[in-house]
Each structure stands twice: as C-alpha cells, then as structure tokens.
Homo-oligomer: A and B are copies of this chain.
Amino acid sequence: MAKGQTNKGLTERLQAALKERGQRWTEQRQIIVDVLAASDGHATGAELVERVRQDDPSATPSTVYRTLDLLEELGLARHHHGPDGRETYHLEETTEHGHLHCRGCGAEQELDAAAAAPILKAITGATGFSADLDHLSLQGLCATCRADQKG
C-alpha cells in the first residue's frame, strides 16, 4: 500500500513472470517500467516514449510500444483510448477504474469500482453484457458544466 516500494515489487513480479515464459529481462524493460511507475497517473504512448528516451536515448518507439504490449499481456499495465483516440497507459497497481471525459470543460474524472458498480449492473441488466471497467471510457457533461448550462 505504501508508495515507495511498489516499483521494486513490480520489477520482481515482472522478472519472475518473464522467466516463466522463457522471456528475458533487459535494461530497457527496467527503464520502461520505472518510467511508467514514475508517471503516477496516466501517460500517453508518446509521452512514455519521450521519457524513456531521456533515460536511454538509444531506445526506439517500437521497443517502448512492444514492451507496453508485453506488460499488458502480463497484466502489469493497461491502456485505454482517450476521446481523441490516443493511447493512455497506466500500471495495473492503480486500482481498476473507468474514465469520464467532460466535453464541456475538458476535465478527466476517474471512476472507481464502487461508483461504477451500479453502472455495470445497469449495463448487464439492459444488455446481458458484462463490461470491463478498465475499458469504460465515457464522454459527456460533468455535473458542473451541466449546472453552468442551466444557469
């Protein structure tokens, strides 16, 4: 739960998972995980590429994106698409959550599991569909902007 050691635990988990699959631990991967852990909230692919290149200028976009894909496969990271279609990544240690994007003020709000529960239930009720909270990315008007429009 503390913040300081999540990174180390992550690295260990990663090394173990890779070994088990006959895959390899490399410095690039360490850097990418570090960068991802350091960008505590969300970061776009391009941002991550740039930050990784600050630590290791020889790193290329393809490596970064491939590593991010790998982290997702291992369940250690997630990505979703913002309203403009850009990719946004975050570590799995961040609790599962959805995203609410306000088209009025541009604000991005997170939607935690507790708040989402009734929504997911409504989705299942209406459609039989069991939605993934992590891919739930809504666009609309936040409460403030709705109030502004009324006022």
Contacts and interface: CB of A to CB of B under 8 A. Distances in A.
Contacts of A126: 111, 115-119
A143 B128 contact: yes
A142 B121 contact: no
Contact of A130 (B81, B130, B140): B140
A135 B131 contact: no
Given A132-B140, A141-B129, A121 B123 contact: no
Describe A's contact surface by its main secondary structure: mixed
Interface residues of A, number: 36
Contacts of A109: 127, 129
Copies of this chain held together in the complex:
2
Contacts of A136: 138
Contact of A121 (B115, B122, B130): B122
A95 to B, nearest CB: 16
Q: Which of A86, A102, A121, A122 has the most CB of B within 10 A?
A: A122
A122 B117 CA distance: 9
A102 B81 contact: no
A125 interface: yes
Q: Which of A131, A138, A139 has the most CB of B within 10 A?
A: A138
Given A118-B122, A122-B119, A122-B121, A139 B135 contact: yes
A87 interface: yes
